[in-house]
Amino acid sequence: MRQFARVGITLSLIAAVAATALALVNAVTAPKIAAYELQVIQNALVEVSGGFEIADSREETQESGVLEVHTLLDPDGEVAGYILQLNGAGYGGAMTIMAGYRANGEVIDARLLANSETPGLGKKAESASYMEKFQGTGGDTPVPVKRDQLEKSDADSVSGSTVTFTGVARTIALGSDYVKQLGGE
Amino acid sequence: MANERKQVLTRGIFKENPVFILMLGLCPTLGVTTQVINGLGMGAAVIFVLVFSNIFVSLLKNIIPNSVRIPSYIVIIAAFVTIVEMVMHAFAPAIYESLGIFLPLIVVNCIILGRAEAFANKNSLTDSFLDAIGMGVGFTLAVTLIALIREVFGAGTITLIPMGSFSGVLEIPLLYTYPVRIFSLAAGALLLMGYLKAFFEWTANRKRG
């Protein structure tokens, strides 16, 4: 019986000390982490806004693949478009994409946020220049979702990471359709 | 005695290198070694956890009852891993993101539990500390070497810490345009690991004569 008590007490003491240490470290790091995450989102929002004002309102949706909707306003206060935070699937699993659209569904710009793509291949989609091939599509011309819909130089740039490209493109196209359905109200 | 101490410190680097000789901790070794900075970051995290878990296991070796020693070690190790995780997330978010799942998985890294069980719970505080430093540095050198080879050939770049005007990425002219893609993929990591293991075996055997 005494042996049991000793084992139990030792183990709980170790766990208690560990938990206290973790609580202390968490108190220091948690605000920094939250600030960093917010900064990443804010930067991406500004980058894909195309110079329009981002309205304060932010909606979370139940729509599959669309996480959040931010409204973009032109200087007159009219709805100019939307920024969507989208969920897609790439080569390395789930990825988050932030994309700005005009009210007719045309892509302003997009950014790949959290992802687990392969460095040197799919990870290249994180760069701003990667998204240039989607700019201006989604309105009159469809979002390119297959390699053969791309210009030669763009098609070459996604070779070796076709799955990532398809994942990004389909997600952006889904967002475009979602924006069209919102209809700029 | 001083010589023995030196042995404890240095054997982890080459003679008993955890990756190439003991073949421990291969999962993160293959997983994170796509960029040099990841190798260094992973190495730093492992050294930190290894040093503190070895110290605490050695200090508590007479207090922890034998029947619950493994759960106790795991709690100690997990606590330090979580500390590293939170600190990295707050102060080095880029490395935190690229290490991804492998950072929390240090908890089950065989090097750390292995050193606690095989060394720290039988030896003095000083020896355990030296052992942790030696093994940690050995691991760091191994993952950084693998990452360097994989990144240079697989992507044609060397990614280090951005400082001032230096963006942190060195580009190697010819390889950047025509990289050997297989090196950045998992298959390339396994192939390379095999070659390096063979090389280390060869040099070790040659020394023995």
**CB-based contact B91 A32, cutoff 8 Å:** yes
Amino acid at the residue B188? G
**CB-based contact B64 A14, cutoff 8 Å:** yes
Check: CB of residue B58 under 8 Å from CB of residue B124: yes
- From CA B158, how far away is CA B173, in angstroms rounded? 12
Number of structural domains in chain A: 1
Domain enclosing residue A144, as ranges: 49-182
Q: Is residue A41 part of a domain?
A: no
What pLDDT, on the 0 to 100 scale, is given for residue B209? Answer: 62
Closest of A50, A159, A45, A163 to residue A111, by C-alpha: A45
Q: Is residue A32 part of a domain?
A: no
- Position with higher pLDDT, A57 vs B157: B157
Q: Is residue A9 part of a domain?
A: no
For residue A65, is pLDDT > 90?
Answer: no
Q: Is residue A89 part of a domain?
A: yes
Q: pLDDT-based confidence at B147, cuts 50/70/90?
A: very high
Tell whether pTM > 0.95: no
Q: Is residue A114 part of a domain?
A: yes
Q: pLDDT-based confidence at A119, cuts 50/70/90?
A: low
- From CA A131, how far away is CA A135, in angstroms rounded? 7
- Position with higher pLDDT, B145 vs A182: B145
Q: Phi and psi of A167, rounded to 5°?
A: -60, -45
Check: CB of residue A50 under 8 Å from CB of residue A108: yes
Please write the tens of the pLDDT for every residue from A3-17.
888 888 989 999 999
Find chain B residues with C-beta within 8 A of A21's C-beta: 79, 83
Is B68 part of the contact surface with chain A (CB cutoff 8 Å)?
yes
**CB-based contact B86 A119, cutoff 8 Å:** no
Which of B65, B79, B97 is facing A22, going by the closest CB pair? Answer: B79
